[in-house]
Structure 1
Amino acid sequence: MNAIEAYIGDLDARLRGPSAAKADLLTEARDGLVDAADAYLAGGVDEAEAERRAVADFGPAELIARDYQAELGLRRDIRVLWELIAGVPLLILAWDLARAFADWSRLGASPSWYHRAIGVADTLAALSPAVAVAGLLAARLLSRRTAGPPVARAVSWTLAAAVGLNLVAVVTYGGATGLLEPARMLVSVPCAVLSGTWILFSMRLTVAARNFGRTTA
C-alpha cells in the first residue's frame, strides 16, 4: 500500500526516540490505516483511493507526529523516573552502609558547617525520588482528564525537578567534602566506588533529561 507506507515513512522521519517505542507507535498507525483502507475497499472504492482516503482521515503527518513525539517523550521520561526512584534510594542505603563500616579514626572531627551541609544534601537526595513518585501519581491522575502533550509536559517537569534535586545533592556532598577534606570520599574502597557510581548515575540522568527535554519541547 504505497500511500500508507509513504505516510508511515513521513511519520518515521519526523519522530525521535527509542527505536522500540517508535516502532510500536508506527505499527499501531499502520494497522489503523490498513483497517481504514480495507473498509473503503469493502465499500467498492479502488485500492489507491482507499489508501488516500485512509491517510486523509488519519490526519496531517505533522500534527500526528507532534502527538506521537509527546508520547515517546512521556514513555522515556517515565522510564528515567523509575530508574531514579530505584537508583537514588539504593545509592543512599549503600553509601550509609559503606560509611558505617569505614575507618574514620584517622580523620579529624567535622566542623558544624559540614554537618549542616551534609544534612541539606541528605534532605535533597531523599526528596528527589519522593518528587519523582509524586509526579508519576499526578501524571496518572492528569491522564484521566486529558492526554498527549499536557501529560508529557507534566512528567517532563517532574523529571527535571527530581533530577535537579539529586544533582544538587551530589554537588553539595562533593563540594562540602572537597572543601573540608577530599580524603573523606576515599576513606574506603566501597566509599570511593559508591561516590563515583553516584556521580556517573547523576550525569546519566541529567543527560537523559536534557536530551528528551529538547525532543519534547
Structure 2
Amino acid sequence: MSAVDVYLADQRAAIPGPSWTRRDLLREAGDHLEDATDAYTAAGYTPTEAEALALRDFGSVDDIAPGFRDTVAIGAARRTAVLLVLVMLPQAFLWDGGIELGASAHSAAPDSGLFHVLDIIIGYVGTAGAIGALVALAVTAIGQRWLRIGRRTARLTAAWSLATAMIVPIIGFTMLTLTGGLTVLLALSALAFMAAPFALVALSAQRTLAAC
C-alpha cells in the first residue's frame, strides 16, 4: 500500500457513521491527494517524496478527521430530517382526512377521557415533530451558510427524530386499539403507513447518532 492508501485507511477508521457519506468524503480526499502528488511529481520529486509532500499539505489524520466527522454527522442528520418530513406530512391526510383509514375500518372514536387526551397529545406531537424536522432540514442544509453547526446539531436532530418516530406510532396504535375497530385491514394499513415509515426514520436517527 502506498502512503496515501494508508492515510485514507486511517481516515476511514477515524470517521464513524454511514458508509455512503464517508465514501464520498474519502473519494474527494483521495482525488485531491492524487492531484497534489502528480503536481509534485511533475515538479521533479520522486513518487515517494511527492506523496509525502501531498500528505503534509493536506494535513494529518488528527487534524482533518474532526472536520470530516462533522461533515458526515451533518449529512446523516440532514438525511434523517428529510425522512421525518416525508413521513410526517402525509399523516394527517391518511388518518384525519382524505383516505380516512380509521373510518374505512368502521372504527369510531370512543367517548373516553384517555382517547381524547391521546388525541390532543398526538396532535401536538405530530405538529411539533413536523416543525422540528423542517427546522432541522433548513439548518443542516442552507443554514450552514450562516450558522456554525456540527455534531451537536446532528445529535439534536437525531434525538428529536427518534423521539417523534417512537411516540407517534405508540400513541397512534393505542388510539386505534381504543376504537374497538382494530381489524386486520386497519392493522395492516397502520403498519404500512405509520409503523414502517417511522421505523426507517428511527433507523436513520440511530445511524446519525453513531456518526456523532
Q: TM-score range by the shorter chain?
A: 0.7 to 0.9
The aligned amino acid for 1:126 is T
Checking the alignment, whether the CA contact within 8 Å between 2:169 and 2:195 is kept in structure 1 is yes
Distance 2:39 2:104 in 1: 70
Number of corresponding residues: 208
User: Could you say which residue in structure 1 is the equivalent of 2:105?
Assistant: 102
**Is 1:26 aligned with 2:26?**
yes
Shift, 1:175, TM fit: 4.0
Do the aligned partners of residues 159 and 92 (structure 1) sit closer, same or farther apart at CA in structure 2, a change above 3 Å counting? farther
Report the secondary structure of 2:27's partner residue: helix
Within 5 Å, give how 1:54-69 maps onto structure 2: 54-69=54-69
The aligned amino acid for 2:188 is V
User: Could you say which residue in structure 1 is the equivalent of 2:51?
Assistant: 51
Distance 1:118 1:183 in 2: 15
User: Could you say which residue in structure 2 is the equivalent of 1:195?
Assistant: 190
Shift, 1:9, TM fit: 1.9
Checking the alignment, whether the CA contact within 8 Å between 1:118 and 1:176 is kept in structure 2 is yes
User: Could you say which residue in structure 2 is the equivalent of 1:207?
Assistant: 203
Checking the alignment, whether the CA contact within 8 Å between 2:81 and 2:136 is kept in structure 1 is no
Distance 2:183 2:191 in 1: 13
Distance 1:83 1:43 in 2: 49
Within 5 Å, give how 1:125-144 maps onto structure 2: 125-140=126-141, 142-144=143-145
Checking the alignment, whether the CA contact within 8 Å between 1:103 and 1:188 is kept in structure 2 is no
The aligned amino acid for 1:207 is L
Distance 1:94 1:40 in 2: 61
Identity %: 23
Report the secondary structure of 1:124's partner residue: helix
Shift, 1:192, TM fit: 1.2
User: Could you say which residue in structure 1 is the equivalent of 2:160?
Assistant: 161
User: Could you say which residue in structure 2 is the equivalent of 1:116?
Assistant: 117
Question: Relative contact order (C-alpha < 8 Å, sep 6+): which is higher?
Answer: 2
Structure 1: segments with no counterpart, 5+ residues: none
The aligned amino acid for 2:180 is A
**Is 1:183 aligned with 2:184?**
no
Q: Could you state the TM-score of these two structures normalised by the residue count of structure 1?
A: 0.81
Report the secondary structure of 1:183's partner residue: coil
User: Could you say which residue in structure 1 is the equivalent of 2:89?
Assistant: 89
RMSD (Å), alpha carbons: 2.6
Do the aligned partners of residues 52 and 65 (structure 1) sit closer, same or farther apart at CA in structure 2, a change above 3 Å counting? same
Report the secondary structure of 1:45's partner residue: coil
Structure 2: segments with no counterpart, 5+ residues: none
Checking the alignment, whether the CA contact within 8 Å between 2:87 and 2:198 is kept in structure 1 is no
Do the aligned partners of residues 176 and 125 (structure 1) sit closer, same or farther apart at CA in structure 2, a change above 3 Å counting? same
User: Could you say which residue in structure 1 is the equivalent of 2:15?
Assistant: 15
Report the secondary structure of 1:207's partner residue: helix
Do the aligned partners of residues 89 and 194 (structure 1) sit closer, same or farther apart at CA in structure 2, a change above 3 Å counting? farther
Distance 1:32 1:115 in 2: 59
Do the aligned partners of residues 80 and 108 (structure 1) sit closer, same or farther apart at CA in structure 2, a change above 3 Å counting? closer
